[in-house]
């Protein structure tokens, strides 16, 4: 059994809607923009499809942070999906305040053409986590 190597790189899980945010992440790659390693992006049909349980599971299984990225309000391909997302994530962050983990959850809006904005948001979250405290919810 290989010994687990402790890394100094924050692990961040991101859920990105397929119509806007995920396209922005792909465009960033096509334009050879770089963002820190340790970021795992999961494509979802709409940001509203991200169940709060997915965020909780990611944090308690070792992610240092989780972001949900969706279309700008009013631009959702599923009409009101991002409004539902905003309410769900706000409630989840409020719940996580009790554990001082609310800052480990981010929500942001990015259109398909905003590759630079996507990279900036991810880099900002990465820096906040790297400079902040460890994830109290981490196992082991």
Instruction: Report if residue 83 sits inside a domain.
Output: yes
The DSSP call for residue 112 is: T
Per-residue pLDDT of the chain (140 residues; tens, 9 = 90+): 444 555 688 999 999 999 999 999 999 999 999 989 999 999 999 999 999 999 999 999 999 999 999 999 999 989 899 999 999 999 999 999 998 899 999 999 999 999 999 999 999 999 999 988 544 444 44
Domain count, the chain: 1
DSSP secondary structure, 39-83, as one string: EEEEEES-GGG--HHHHHHHHHTT-SEEEEEEPPTT--TTSSHHH
Instruction: Report if residue 117 sits inside a domain.
Output: yes
79 vs 70: CA distance, rounded Å: 12
Instruction: Report if residue 86 sits inside a domain.
Output: yes
Instruction: Report if residue 12 sits inside a domain.
Output: no
Instruction: Report if residue 55 sits inside a domain.
Output: no
Instruction: Report if residue 109 sits inside a domain.
Output: yes
Full-model pTM:
0.87
Residue range of the domain that includes 73: 31-42+64-131
Instruction: Report if residue 56 sits inside a domain.
Output: no
Q: What is the pLDDT of residue 2?
A: 47
Q: Are 69 and 121 in contact (CB under 8 A)?
A: yes
Instruction: Report if residue 114 sits inside a domain.
Output: yes
């Amino acid at each position: 059994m290989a010994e687990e190597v402790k890394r100094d790189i924050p692990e961040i899980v991101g859920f990105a809607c397929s119509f806007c945010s995920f396209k922005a992440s792909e465009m960033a790659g096509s334009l050879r923009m770089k963002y820190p390693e340790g970021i795992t992006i999961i494509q979802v049909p709409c940001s509203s499809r991200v169940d709060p349980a997915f965020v909780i599971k990611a944090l308690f299984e070792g992610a240092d942070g989780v972001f949900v990225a969706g279309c700008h309000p009013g631009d959702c391909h599923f009409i009101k999906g991002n409004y539902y997302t905003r309410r769900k994530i706000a409630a989840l962050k409020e719940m996580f305040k009790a554990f001082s983990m609310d800052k480990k959850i981010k929500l942001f809006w990015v259109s398909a053409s905003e590759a630079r904005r996507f990279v900036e948001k991810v880099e900002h979250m990465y820096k906040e986590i790297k400079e902040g405290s460890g994830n109290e919810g981490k196992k082991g």
